[in-house]
Amino acid sequence: MPDLPAADPVSTNILRAEGRVAAADRTSMLGHAGRTVWFTGLSGSGKSTLAFAVEEALVARGVAAYVLDGDNVRFGLNRDLGFSPADRTENIRRIGEVCRLFQDAGLVVLSAFISPYRADRDAVRALHPEGAFVEVFVDTPLELCEERDVKGLYARARAGEITEFSGISAPYEVPEAPDMTVDSTRPLEECVAAILEHVASPGV
């Protein structure tokens, strides 16, 4: 994978502004702390399905939650990016910064992206305060992902019509120590319950 971009901004004539509302104030107002729950896995693994189901369950509990989905983000914020290694890294860098803003605002943001490179996922984790980032590996066999592929992307990738496709013509680096692993072959409600149990303590 490509080298990560420099951490320091290009501009030098900037100064970080500090507001008067602390994280504890937002937690008190909302009744819960902000958190980023990062779903990673192959295309078709069930990331988005899980994220939207967890969002629904959290909102039903009165938790301010929102899903950032990989495809949806590429229609707007990241519409200028393709799927080269460099573009994939920039895609995740931007999303990581957005997640950090959501989390700082006190929301539970559920981020569903393939995010194939460990270094990119680790960089997003490093943006967050300790305990505010939860990496969820949606562990699904490749053959099942292909069976679930309603968009026909795997078939096109195997035919050479799509290049840089994670798991086929581009790498997917399995998390070495995720905060949680979900077996998406199990019933959806079981997976959602397990995720809720994990992310609901403490503060959510």
Distance (Å, rounded) from C-alpha 51 to C-alpha 107? 14
* Cβ count within 10 A of residue 71: 11
Q: What is the reported pLDDT for 201?
A: 56
Q: Is the peptide bond before 202 cis (omega within 30 degrees of 0)?
A: yes
| Local mean pLDDT, 10-residue blocks, the chain (204 residues) | 54 81 88 95 95 96 94 94 94 97 96 96 96 96 91 92 92 96 94 91 55
Tokens of 34: 């902000």
Homologous superfamily of 23-141+173-199: P-loop containing nucleotide triphosphate hydrolases (3.40.50.300)
Q: What is the reported pLDDT for 11?
A: 77
Annotated catalytic residues are 115
Q: Which helix (H) or strand (E) holds 39?
A: strand 35-40
Torsion sign (Cα): 84, 96, 126, 139: negative
Whole-number Cα distances in Å, 5 to 89, 93, 94, 115: 9, 9, 11, 16
Tokens of 172: 């997917």
Q: What is the reported pLDDT for 14?
A: 76
**Do the Cβ atoms of 4 and 117 come closer than 8 Å?**
no
Q: What is the reported pLDDT for 7?
A: 64
The full set of domain ranges for the chain reads: 23-141+173-199
Q: 188-199 and 47-60 are packed helices; what angle lies between their axes, rounded to 10 degrees?
A: 60
For residue 12, give every residue at least 6 positions away whose Cβ sits within 8 Å of its Cβ, in sequence order, or none.
none
Q: Which residues pair with 182 in a beta bridge?
A: 138
Q: State residue 108 phi and psi, 5-degree precision.
A: -95, 110
> Nearest CA to 21 among 3, 34, 39?
34
